[in-house]
Amino acid sequence: MPLGIYISVPFCKTKCSYCNFASGVFSKQVFKRYVDRVVEDISRSAETSREVGVELDREVDSIYLGGGTPTLLEPSQLEGLFAAVRKQFEVAANSEVTVECAPGTLSPDVIDTLLGCGVNRVSLGVQSFIDKESSSVARLHTRATTLEEIERLRSSGIDNINIDLIAGLPHQTEESWKDSLSQLIDTGVPHASVYMLEVDEDSRLGRELIAGGTKYHAHFVPDEDFTAELYERACERLNSAGIEQYEISNFARLGCESRHNLKYWTRQPYLGFGVDAHSLLPIPRPSNNGQVWSTTNVESVRFSTSDNLEQYVSGASLTRTPVTEDQAIEEAFFLGLRLTKGVDLLELAERYGTAASIAFRDEFADMANAGLVEVDEGRLRLTDRGRLLSNEVFARLIGPTHAAKA
């Protein structure tokens, strides 16, 4: 099965107050060291796969540069990353090639570089079309800048564009959210991602909210119930506009779903490079001489890099986690339930046998009675209420091994 390749580029012009990712503001001197290390890792991918004990397919049909803001790199550095991938892997001609961009970084020269690298999809971290809301969380762009860059992308031939929005930003109201949704729909983009603001200790805004303070406009953040209402409103508006929900946070016009992200939710193989990059690859199948790396009942291996930039660049070891068949069933449920179409129970049973049929049987019965899940034509899926309470559903599906990592 073809691979998805993910490359993390953790550099930003400014750190958004809500951000809990492994990214930040660094000098351009760090950029070169980082890119050199990523290129080296890409060149060693076959060796790394042998060390980790996984099967590596050379065929690739999706590449995703995430951030941070990859478009802060020099053109030669972007070109170097893509060249390294194409040197080590067979990239299919019809591959989906995505780069995440912050509005305000897409100059004509940058767009020309992306086109030269084969990029055919751009994901814009807009978060809000209301300038007051954007600036309150340290976003540097304006609505006007965003609209200009969308037109510039289209003029260059890149029509496959995603726009991110966040429900629950400081100063957000029902009217301002309606305005952002209307503007998104009016742009005609084929894909949208809508997230509810995360409140945790891994972001400055989250810590301030937990402490009950007023820094970072925390006292202007809507409460959880209102944020959930905004999310529901987004689902209604986007679906009615033909940008249909296919995953908890993702919406697309027909045929424009993110092929790369679907790999994560359907447990297809993917390989990550860079800081805090994650991979999932299968273990080798038995060979003719029977000599293969294997652990009883191990189905695949997840492995990841350090989430500390300096440790990563200095060569920190990978974290490796074997995934047993029982854990793979857990993942198939809690990842597949993110999708609107849900989990195909027959397909799961064919792959994993009776273990899949009895897994979580009691839990699903309880959740069905609570109106969180439903079964329709052999598919288990979340209800509308279940999507709003998805964290509660997923927590009941994660066994002790996964819970320890969550």
As to burial, measured by CB atoms within 10 angstroms (0-12 exposed, 13-18 middle, 19+ buried), residue 184 is buried
Q: Is the pLDDT of residue 405 over 80?
A: no
Backbone angles phi, psi at 198, to 5 degrees: -90, 130
Number of other residues whose CB lies within 10 A of the CB of residue 323: 21
* Residues 244 and 366 placed together within one structural domain of the fold: no
Task: Output the pLDDT for position 296.
Answer: 58
Taking a C-beta distance cutoff of 8 angstroms, is the pair 4, 56 a contact? Answer: no
Is 169 part of any domain?
yes
Number of other residues whose CB lies within 10 A of the CB of residue 15: 15
Averaged pLDDT, 372-393: 93
Averaged pLDDT, 337-359: 91
| Final residue of a structural domain among 214, 246, 261 | 261
As to burial, measured by CB atoms within 10 angstroms (0-12 exposed, 13-18 middle, 19+ buried), residue 131 is middle
Q: Looking at this protein, which amino acid is placed at residue 224?
A: E
Taking a C-beta distance cutoff of 8 angstroms, is the pair 164, 125 a contact? Answer: yes
Task: Output the pLDDT for position 354.
Answer: 84
* Residues 233 and 361 placed together within one structural domain of the fold: no
Is 308 part of any domain?
no
* Residues 254 and 382 placed together within one structural domain of the fold: no
* Residues 57 and 169 placed together within one structural domain of the fold: yes
Is 115 part of any domain?
yes
Q: How far apart are CA 283 and CA 300, in angstroms?
A: 5
Q: How far apart are CA 376 and CA 342, in angstroms?
A: 10
| Final residue of a structural domain among 209, 239, 261 | 261
Task: Output the pLDDT for position 20.
Answer: 84
Band the pLDDT of 396: cuts 50, 70, 90.
confident
CB-based burial, 336-368: b 16+ in 10 Å, e otherwise: bbbbbebbbbeebeeebeeebeebbeeebeebe
CATH number of the structural domain spanning residue 371: 1.10.10
Q: Where are the alpha helices (DSSP H) in 285-324?
A: 309-313
Is 117 part of any domain?
yes
E-state strands within 270-325: 270-273, 278-282, 298-304, 319-324
Is 326 part of any domain?
no
Inter-CA distances, 96 with 9, 63, 276, Å: 18, 6, 22
Q: Is the pLDDT of residue 400 over 90?
A: no
* Residues 242 and 375 placed together within one structural domain of the fold: no
Number of other residues whose CB lies within 10 A of the CB of residue 264: 17
* Residues 62 and 187 placed together within one structural domain of the fold: yes
Band the pLDDT of 23: cuts 50, 70, 90.
confident
Nearest to 117, CA basis, from 66, 90, 162, 77: 77
Averaged pLDDT, 10-22: 89
Task: Output the pLDDT for position 404.
Answer: 39
Q: How far apart are CA 1 and CA 19, in angstroms?
A: 33
For residue range 283-336, what is the model confidence (pLDDT) as tens digits?
Answer: 987 654 444 444 458 999 999 999 999 999 999 999 999 999 999 999 999 999
- List the domain range (segments joined by +) for residue 93: 3-261
As to burial, measured by CB atoms within 10 angstroms (0-12 exposed, 13-18 middle, 19+ buried), residue 94 is exposed
Band the pLDDT of 388: cuts 50, 70, 90.
confident
* Total domain count, the chain: 2
* Residues 352 and 245 placed together within one structural domain of the fold: no
Here the tokens at position 147 are 């609209």
Q: Is the pLDDT of residue 351 over 50?
A: yes
Band the pLDDT of 202: cuts 50, 70, 90.
confident
Q: How far apart are CA 11 and CA 380, in angstroms?
A: 39
Taking a C-beta distance cutoff of 8 angstroms, is the pair 174, 230 a contact? Answer: yes
Is 250 part of any domain?
yes
Contacts of 68 (CB under 8 A, 6+ apart): 8, 9, 10, 11, 12, 21, 23, 100
Is 93 part of any domain?
yes
How many CA atoms lie within 13 Å of 345's alpha carbon, on the beta-carbon side?
15
Q: What is the pTM of this model?
A: 0.93
* Residues 365 and 251 placed together within one structural domain of the fold: no
CATH number of the structural domain spanning residue 126: 3.20.20.70
Nearest to 322, CA basis, from 56, 55, 53: 53
Task: Output the pLDDT for position 50.
Answer: 95
* Residues 154 and 249 placed together within one structural domain of the fold: yes
* Residues 237 and 373 placed together within one structural domain of the fold: no
Q: What is the DSSP code string of 372-397?
A: SEEEETTEEEE-HHHHHTHHHHHHTT
Beta bridge partners of residue 100, listed in sequence order: 123
For residue range 256-296, what is the model confidence (pLDDT) as tens digits?
Answer: 999 999 999 999 999 999 999 999 999 987 654 444 444 45
| Final residue of a structural domain among 207, 236, 261 | 261
Q: Are strands 160-167 and 121-127 parallel, antiparallel or unpaired?
A: parallel
Q: Which residue did the predictor score with more confidence, 76 or 201?
A: 76
Is 298 part of any domain?
no
Task: Output the pLDDT for position 291.
Answer: 45
* Residues 253 and 373 placed together within one structural domain of the fold: no
For residue range 57-104, what is the model confidence (pLDDT) as tens digits?
Answer: 999 999 999 989 999 999 999 999 999 999 999 999 999 999 999 999
Q: How far apart are CA 18 and CA 170, in angstroms?
A: 10
* Residues 231 and 345 placed together within one structural domain of the fold: no
Q: Which of 36-50, 271-285, 347-361 has the lowest mean pLDDT?
A: 347-361
Band the pLDDT of 398: cuts 50, 70, 90.
confident
